[in-house]
Amino acid sequence: MAYGGASRWLRVFHPAAGAPRVVIFPHGGGSASYYHGLSKVLSPAVEPVIVQYPGRAERLSEPPLEDLSAVVDAVIGELDAQAGTGVIGYFGHSMGASIAFEVARKRPPQHLFLSGRRPPEHHRQDNFADRGDAAILAEVKRLAGTSADVFDNPEILEMVMPALRADYRALQGYVPDVATVVDSPITALTGDDDPRIAPDEALDWAHHTTGPFARHVFSGGHFYIDNHLPEVAAIIRSGLVG
């Protein structure tokens, strides 16, 4: 279901009229459907509104965006067009955390949840996009975010590679401002075995808010969420509902 009934960018799998809303920003190469399980656990206390980037799922025929700032601007336009009453939080995972953080600079949420992403002072410029598909696939496998069946099925791989290439190109061109501070409370979430961010690095997200800060570390790697849906949902609910 499109949010508000008419958005290409926003999906609601579990409507919860009158509940506070959380906008979920998927990881690189990810689609809204990956967060269906989290959406189910969050509802009905919170209504999850999940961003669907172009170039995947029902937007497969649309060219994916290779500029992270273009994604940020498009999402802000959609949120402004769909604006209504109620509490809004942002939850972003991996690349989605960078997008959520940039959106929060211009449209501060009640609470900002940043998962599996280094803060700006620990940003490392990767060049997977320049190194080609083999490097991108090796990194995705290392993060264990996609079923191994994808890499064994040429037809599926042909469908997912354009979005992966675009997302890694967008990440390669993204340089966060280390001086950025938002007024929203920030909660950082990470896995204790995530190769992309050390638990201690997540603590430095505290430097980027004028409000309260909290960090939660879970067992698992980059996609720790898969095994901790109830705990992650509880943290989101607590930040938006109390």
CA distance 55 to 187: 29
CA distance 48 to 12: 6
Is the peptide bond between 44 and the residue preceding it cis, with omega within 30 degrees of 0? Answer: yes
Q: Per the residue annotation, which of 94, 98, 115, 184 is the catalytic one?
A: 94
Residue with tokens 């067992």: 219
CA distance 11 to 51: 6
Q: Catalytic annotation on 94?
A: yes
The full DSSP string for 43-82 is TTTSEEEEE--TTSGGGTTSPPP--HHHHHHHHHHHHHHT
Contact 99, 27 (CB under 8 A): no
Give the DSSP H/E element, type plus range, for residue 115: strand 111-115
CA-closest candidate to residue 220, choices 192, 178, 186: 192
Contact 59, 52 (CB under 8 A): yes
| Residues with active-site annotation | 94
